[in-house]
Amino acid sequence: MLHIENLSHVYPNGTRALDSVSLQVPPGMFGLLGPNGAGKSSLMRSIATLQTPTSGTIRFGDIDVLADPEALRRTLGYLPQDFGVYPRVSAYEMLDHIAVLKGYAASGERRTVVEALLNQVNLWPVRHKALAGFSGGMRQRFGIAQALIGQPRLVIVDEPTAGLDPEESNRFLNLLAEIAESTVVILSTHIVQDVANLCPRTAMLVGGKIVRVGAPLDLIGELRGRIWQKVIDKRELEAHRKAHEVIATRLSSGRTVIHVLADRQPGPGFDTAEGSLEDVYFSTLSSLRRAA
């Protein structure tokens, strides 16, 4: 279990990236949702010991992360949003080099680890190909392979599916789900559907603060009977925004569909909609904007 208590971080320019964040992250997959600039990467970097927060505590099991960062690093796998590699080096050579840096000095043991990981992430057939020739999804799978060296008990992935095509994204998320069967995996993203599909628990971070925590189904249940939808002409959108709390708009078969948050039917032509985690996310952001 990962315990985070009253974690805050203020950068030298005065930007408060984290504001008294408290979370308990159980084993399995945990989703961290938030818009760009919400503080997700700052929180991930603090957990991964890449920056020291201004105040607060982080514990993973019996490890005091801030007091003993080396202890966490020995059991941590981390895939940042921007994972750099040497492009002209092959996948096998690069993973072998990283394994050396992570303490696998014996060549036989290292070979076993590297070959097992390349097979696990389905990169064995292209193990001798230069990383420069990898697709985005292949690079992400290589990133997970390097994160899994040393059999970590905590794995952090930051915006892992951004820029991937649907097939690569699905393959990568299935791989994460397999890993989460035996470890703590934190999935930090702004893609709501990834969290809805994979994570039994999630937290929403906005403006450096945790604003919602819970199981996606429970959060969706809180909106039952309060989400209404209507197909409109796109020219009517601004008028609906002025009259109602429009939390989301989307195109469906070329037509504009709006979702409105209301305790009762907001007007003619509106039907109740099955809520989704996207509705929870957008309604939360809408409420925060109104309160600001």
pLDDT in tens, 182-212: 789 999 888 888 888 889 999 999 999 999 9
- pLDDT tops 70 at residue 228: yes
What are the boundaries of each domain within the chain? 2-215, 220-291
- Non-local (6+) Cβ contacts of 88 within 8 A are 130, 131, 132
Q: How many CB atoms lie within 10 A of CB 136?
A: 15
pLDDT in tens, 257-274: 999 999 999 989 999 998
Task: State the Cα–Cα distance between residues 177 and 279, nearest whole angstrom.
Answer: 24
Of residues 180 and 163, which shows the higher confidence score?
180
pLDDT, mean of residues 208-233:
92
196 in Cβ contact with 211 (< 8 Å): no
Q: pLDDT > 90: what percent of the chain?
A: 57
pLDDT of residue 151: 87
40 in Cβ contact with 32 (< 8 Å): yes
- pTM score, whole prediction: 0.86
pLDDT of residue 85: 66
| Crossing angle between the packed helical segments 136-147 and 91-101, to the nearest 10 degrees | 30
Amino acid letter, residue 3 = H
> In the 3-class helix/strand/coil scheme, how is 4-52 assigned residue by residue?
EEEEEEECCCCCEEEEEEEEEECCEEEEEECCCCCCHHHHHHHHCCCCC
CATH of domain 2-215: 3.40.50.300
pLDDT of residue 292: 66
**Residue count of the chain:** 292
β-strand partners of 186: 30, 156
- pLDDT tops 70 at residue 109: yes
* Residue whose entry in the numeric block shows the structure tokens 């057939």: 125
Q: How many CB atoms lie within 10 A of CB 101?
A: 9
